[in-house]
Structure 1
């Protein structure tokens, strides 16, 4: 029971946090247009596509982790999202979040990998439905697959603005 409660706490920390981030991209201050502009400034082009892709991925993965459903694939999405954030918005700013560094996104990605390894616990839809989406293989899929997906996205779509010489 202690492990089940602990994993529920982890899921309730990670999932709703990512849902809030996705909702903010859609309905926050500048809405999707503002998010698109911010993504353009990070070199993610076209910004409109990436704003929508990030919002949908954050909302979906956040809900899945909260429910403990398709845990491994959802955790891979977390890792992918955090890797893109680390390599764009937080790049070159050091480690500590109070200086704009990647501390937060690294922690979120690592906790997601841990969740994929350990599993969502008995109080989850994966357990209720008998779905095998956690364990060593899913931990590796979350870590490696998430990073590779992020690197692939950046290789295809990242076009940083050229500095004036």
Structure 2
């Protein structure tokens, strides 16, 4: 194992397990899926129950897929789609910086996942174990990066166009 493979593994594990934990929390934490559904309804992602299930499932699947390095550009695309929706629906109005609940963190997670798709999952991954070098060449480099970006943008923007209906602005009293 070289330093590059270890570094990619470390980044995949931290990003992937963090995302999977977010999905797990939607399923089993605090308000669970019904609470998450109510929150999705309140921010304009309707129907909330559908989006709570889709978001939680995507977070777990994309997180574990990235952590394991399995078909790496596909879970990276999941990150991109999730972060586009989160940034647009929740964080956009707060500006860039995370200290003001802005979209900085969303950008970092999405960009890091795309970078991993471009680099490839490395030797310590299921991609390396399951696929020969010819197949792996489609799961990294420009092809991997484009898969992550195009699928992620299509998923995130498509979801917003089809489902996002922002609640009416509250009037100042």
Partner of 2:54: 53
| 1:146 pairs with 2:146 | no
- Mapping for residues 1-165 of structure 1, pairs under 5 Å: 1-130=2-131, 131-132=135-136, 133-163=139-169
Query: Cα distance, 1:162 vs. partner?
Result: 2.3
TM-score normalised by structure 1 residue count: 0.96
Pairwise CA distance, 1:157: 0.6
Distance across 1 between alignment mates of 2:170 and 2:64: 43
Change (3 A) 1:68 1:91: same
Structure with greater proportional helix content: 2
Deviations 1:3-58 (A, max 9, x none): 11010001111110011000111111111111001111110000000000000000
Q: CA deviation at 1:164?
A: 6.0
1:148 offset after TM fit, Å? 2.1
Q: What residue ranges of structure 1 are gaps of 5+ in the alignment?
A: none
For residues 137 and 77 of structure 1, what CA distance do their matches in structure 2 show? Answer: 16
Query: Could you say what the CA RMSD is over the residues aligned between the two structures, in angstroms?
Result: 1.2
The two structures have a TM-score, normalised by structure 2, of: 0.92
Whole-angstrom CA distance in 2 between matches of 1:111 and 1:82: 11
Aligned-pair distance for 1:91? 1.4
Can you give the 5+ residue segments of structure 2 that lack an aligned partner in the other structure?
A: none
SS in 2 for 1:91: helix
Counting matched residue pairs gives 165
Point out 4+ residue stretches in structure 1 off by more than 6 angstroms: none
- Is the contact made by 2:120 and 2:144 (CA closer than 8 Å) also made in structure 1? no
